[in-house]
């Protein structure tokens, strides 16, 4: 069992320069405490995501860490030319000593896509994604790339850059449906779910069934991850008070663009109160003992091999998040590993 971090990189009310520096200090703590990976979201024009250019943000992380693996979940492929993205990925992988993990997807927000003038109709956006992924993988693994699609093309392109990891950095998807799980299996991708344990287990089962049915050789055992909101504190009451306060701010950021346009998120409204998050099996606040006791059965229920926590969200201060991360790394992880 590995442990990692997911981060929307959502805004809190401090100057942007301080915001980024605080996040980088947190990432240094993840590296120091032995977390496996740090995974960020890509969003645009919303306080939910302030790492709008993942490559720029991740290049700073590459320089501030030594062991930590990192990457986006996900690069929104329709918003990039895949050749430009391939060059960026090669640079990040080389500059980090081969620590990049590459998540890909077509994006979950039609509002953000519309702002960029990208197609929002599902059939078209899926085709754009598929063509972009084909070009991206070709550019990462070949010296000369030719892929011609309806919406994206690359013709006789001489690639000068290459990734350090061969044939390319590990691939990821954010998975919300069985269809996504099947796609991830066909491409040998790991995946992250922001869902309760029972549907996560269902997606893992579908992935394994698909891979087995196609007799696909896997370069490595895929990681199956579930994300949990986590606040660890000196007492249950204190941690819960902090989590409730911060979650309300995150909840506003999550719904910001949708409510601005008078609609709901694609996958529905998120719970308004942190207690509902706990009840769903998607988060916990408390002492190290409480957090470990909550996570252990849910990890077992979901069948994941990679537990990912969201330690920075809403208006959590740097000090609050750092304390939570330190308690989790020093006290929660050993408790969870001892239960195995």
Residue 116 reports pLDDT greater than 70 = yes
Look at the alpha carbons of 75, 42, 188, 211 in this order and tell me if their dihedral is positive or negative.
Answer: negative
Q: Does 12 fall in a domain? A: yes
pLDDT value, residue 23: 98
Return the SS3 of 227. Answer: strand
Per-residue pLDDT reduced to its tens digit, 247-303: 999 999 999 999 999 999 988 899 999 999 999 999 999 999 999 999 999 999 999
pLDDT at 133 over 70: yes
CA distance 149 to 263: 33
Residue 340 confidence (pLDDT) above 90: no
Is the residue at 243 inside a domain?
yes
- The angle, 0 to 180 degrees and rounded to 10, between the axes of the packed helices 54-64 and 82-95 is 10
Contact status, residue 103 vs residue 169, Cβ threshold 8 Å: no
Range of the domain at 322: 2-73+171-338
| Residue 22 confidence (pLDDT) above 80 | yes
Query: In angstroms, rounded to a whole number, what is the distance separating the alpha carbons of residues 216 and 223?
Result: 16
Domain-located, residue 80:
no
Q: Considering the domain boundaries, does residue 109 fall inside one?
A: no
Mean pLDDT on 87-105 = 98
| SS3 assignment, position 102 | strand
Whether pTM exceeds 0.75: yes
- pLDDT of 218: 66
d(CA 8, CA 24): 14
Residue 150, domain member (yes or no):
no
Q: What's the rounded Cα separation, in Å, for the pair 68 and 4?
A: 9
The pLDDT of residue 198 is above 90 = yes
Across the chain, mean pLDDT equals: 96
- Residue 208 domain flag: yes
Burial class (CB in 10 A: 0-12, 13-18, 19+), 319: exposed
Rounded CA separation 23/156 (Å): 41
Separation CA 176–CA 194 (nearest Å): 7
Distance, in Å, from the CA atom of 4 to the CA atom of 230, rounded to the nearest integer, reads 12
Query: What pLDDT score does 267 carry?
Result: 85
Structure-token match 């109160």, residue found: 273
64 occurs within a structural domain = yes
304 contacts 293 by C-beta, under 8 angstroms: no
Report the CATH number that the domain containing residue 306 is assigned in CATH: 3.20.20.30
Give the whole-angstrom CA distance, residue 290 versus residue 72.
30
Q: Which percentage of the chain shows pLDDT scores above 90?
A: 94
Predicted pLDDT at 204: 97
Provide the percentage of residues in the chain whose pLDDT is more than 70: 99
The number of domains in the chain is 1
Q: How far apart are CA 152 and CA 137, in angstroms?
A: 13
Find the mean pLDDT for residues 217-231. Answer: 89
């Amino acid at each position: 069992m590995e442990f990692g971090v997911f981060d929307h990189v959502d805004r809190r009310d401090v100057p942007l320069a301080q915001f980024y520096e605080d996040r980088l200090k947190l990432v240094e703590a993840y590296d120091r405490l032995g977390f496996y990976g740090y995974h960020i979201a890509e969003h645009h024009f919303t306080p939910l995501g302030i790492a709008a250019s993942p490559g720029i943000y991740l290049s700073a992380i590459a320089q501030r860490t030594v062991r930590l693996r990192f990457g986006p979940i996900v690069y929104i492929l329709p918003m990039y030319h895949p050749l430009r993205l391939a060059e960026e990925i090669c640079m990040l992988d080389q500059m980090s000593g081969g620590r990049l993990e590459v998540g890909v997807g077509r994006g979950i927000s039609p509002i953000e896509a519309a702002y960029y003038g990208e197609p929002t109709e599902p059939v078209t956006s899926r085709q754009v994604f598929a063509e972009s992924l084909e070009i991206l993988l070709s550019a990462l693994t070949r010296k000369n790339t030719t892929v011609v699609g309806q919406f994206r093309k690359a013709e006789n392109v001489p690639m000068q850059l290459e990734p350090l990891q061969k044939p390319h950095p590990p691939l990821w998807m954010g998975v919300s449906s069985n269809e996504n799980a099947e796609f991830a299996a066909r491409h040998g991708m790991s995946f992250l779910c922001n869902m309760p344990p029972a549907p996560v287990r269902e997606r893992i089962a579908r992935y394994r069934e698909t891979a087995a049915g196609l007799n696909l050789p896997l370069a490595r055992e895929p990681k199956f991850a579930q994300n949990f909101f986590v606040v660890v504190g000196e007492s249950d009451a204190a941690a819960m008070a902090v989590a409730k306060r911060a979650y309300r701010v995150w909840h506003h950021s999550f719904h910001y663009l949708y409510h601005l346009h008078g609609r709901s998120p694609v996958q529905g409204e998120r719970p308004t109160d942190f207690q509902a998050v706990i009840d769903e099996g998607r988060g916990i606040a408390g002492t190290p003992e409480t957090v470990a006791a909550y996570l252990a059965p849910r990890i077992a229920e979901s069948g994941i091999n990679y537990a990912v926590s969201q330690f920075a969200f809403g208006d959590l201060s740097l000090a609050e998040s750092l304390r939570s991360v330190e308690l989790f790394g020093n006290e929660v992880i050993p408790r969870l590993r001892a239960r195995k």
